[in-house]
Amino acid sequence: MTIPDKKIYPRTNDFETVYLKGVITNSNIIVGDYTMYNDFVSDPTKFEKNNVLYQYPINKDRLIIGKFCSIACGAKFLFTSANHTLKSISTYPFPIFFEKWNLGKEHVMSAWDNKGDIVIGNDVWIGYEAVILSGVHIGDGAIIGTRAVVTKDIPPYTVVGGIPAKEIKKRFDEETIYKLQQIQWWNWSFDKIQQFLPYIMNGEVDNLYLSIT
């Protein structure tokens, strides 16, 4: 499924909201269709620079965001290079300043602990100024509260908040979550989503489930 008109701005005369896929140039940032970012403080088209931090090419770590996600103003994604290694006695990143300390350039990456990719599922809502740390995986349909700091994986359809982020509640019961994971409506064609949109918007999971069984 692709955005039919390939718009950057989803709404007429709204230049604070963008489809992220249309503004990404970094090959290590992968964004699904219709995922949007809103920024009323800075230019939302500068998402790569302002919101994806410490993603240095030497690490080859990736930010992967699914389809139909909603990312609020100021949300940040902090990558491995923000993590000074805990293996050293000192917290100072000596390997970064290899020239000063006569260290080998090839050991630069030993200055931090590599936590890996950040992977965001589909239909995830990330609240205002939330922070997602490297290595975290967030399941489909999850909600990340305002200014939460996510340090660990979040299961699908789970609401979290706080510092560090902790589970507040499940959005649905286990049977409903199972059905939603089977449905995966975000992978449907544009026409099918439009056809079943009333069921999606009204929370009629059983009717959606019948469409795949």
Residues designated as active site? 84
Kindly provide the residue ranges of all beta strands, DSSP E only, lying in the chain, ordered along the sequence. Answer: 17-19, 29-31, 36-38, 52-53, 63-65, 70-71, 76-78, 118-120, 125-126, 131-133, 137-138, 143-144, 149-150, 158-161, 166-170
Dihedrals φ, ψ of 88, to 5°?
A: -85, 155
Q: In whole angstroms, what is the distance from residue 21 CA to residue 34 CA?
A: 8
Contact 142, 124 (CB under 8 A): yes
